[in-house]
Amino acid sequence: MHLTHYLDDITVWAPAKVNLFLEVLGKRPDGYHDIATLMVAIRLYDTLIFRKANELTLTCSDQSLSVGSDNLVLKAARLLQQRTGCKQGASIRLIKRIPMAAGLAGGSTDAAATLAGLNQLWGLKLSNAELASMSGAIGSDIPFFFHAPAAWCTGRGEIVAPANLPIPLDFVLLCPSFGISTPAVYQNVTLPAQPITGEAIREALSKADVDSIAKLLHNRLEDAAAKVEPRIGDFAKMLADTKPAGSLMSGSGSTLFALCQSHEDATRVAAELAPQMKAHKFRVIITRTE
């Protein structure tokens, strides 16, 4: 998350994420699932612009997104007011580029950016650790963004241990035109008798060993997402057929990503997908870790 202050505006660039590993460990009494996941932030950004105002207001470049109190940006702003007693308002503009309901944590990163941006705008002087810890109350993926670019996340996803990212990783994202409901995917997950540990992929990441990372990519939610939306399986095969180092679904979908050996290889993979984009209505994005 990058923050700049210019004249009256605070602008925050809010990155998306992908999951290199996601194991579901069990169902919890509160309805959530305990998970263990390795997340990395990528160079695909929403932009949020904050300015002082009497009221809290939100406008968005994407008319399909609600700008009502259910929007995570306004939930984050209200949470910050409640926790600090701050009575100030803000006008917030959100420029949406991260696909929604796509497993890229677009809403979560916007919420994290809101906490960081308003903390600065309102002069609250909360630490990143304080912002991260309050953010878990409104979404499991939000605390990660205070510890990006790479972290090992457990609990609901909100317990975050930063990880070393010694080299940038190159990706191609295949973003279908449809989103997938996260609760629906979790409802369809088959709990593993023997959960896979993420030790090996964490070690491969720390050693910058892309071939091993590629072999160890794992997402327990991918089969569940394919049950909810069978086209996920077709897209996964289409991506694997381009023979990148590895490929996987991100989060609860619908985005699939290819992990590539280099930017050149990512360009090749994207070019191989291009002829199928129109017929299958997906977008292709070349990106890399932050």
Strands (E), the chain: 2-6, 9-27, 33-53, 56-60, 89-95, 150-154, 159-162, 170-176, 218-219, 246-249, 256-260, 282-288
Label the pairing between strands 9-27 and 2-6: antiparallel
User: At which residue do the structure tokens 């694997």 appear?
Assistant: 240
Q: In this structure, what DSSP letter does residue 289 have? A: B
147 Cβ partners below 8 Å, 6+ apart?
132, 160, 161, 162
The minimum distance between CB 28 and ligand C5P, in angstroms, equals 8
CB 18 within 8 A of CB 104: yes
The minimum distance between CB 105 and ligand C5P, in angstroms, equals 8
Residue 198 binding ligand C5P, by CB under 6 A: no
**Annotation marks residue 141 as catalytic:** yes
CB 207 within 8 A of CB 30: no
Residue 26 binding ligand C5P, by CB under 6 A: no
Which residue's beta carbon is nearest to the bound ligand C5P? Answer: 140
Residue 109 binding ligand C5P, by CB under 6 A: no
Identify which range of 32-40, 94-102, 115-123, 195-203 contacts ligand C5P by CB under 6 A: 32-40
For residues 243 and 288, give the distance between their C-alpha atoms in angstroms, rounded to a whole number.
18
**Annotation marks residue 8 as catalytic:** no
Residue 285 binding ligand C5P, by CB under 6 A: no
Q: Which of 1, 14, 18, 35 binds ligand C5P (CB under 6 A)?
A: 35
Residue 33 binding ligand C5P, by CB under 6 A: yes
Nearest CB to ligand C5P, comparing residues 29 and 123 = 29
Residue 251 binding ligand C5P, by CB under 6 A: no
Residue 186 binding ligand C5P, by CB under 6 A: yes
Residue 137 binding ligand C5P, by CB under 6 A: no
Nearest CB to ligand C5P, comparing residues 9 and 223 = 223
Q: How many residues does this entry show for the chain?
A: 290
Q: Which chain residues interact with ligand C5P by CB under 6 A? A: 32-33, 35, 139-141, 156-157, 182-183, 186
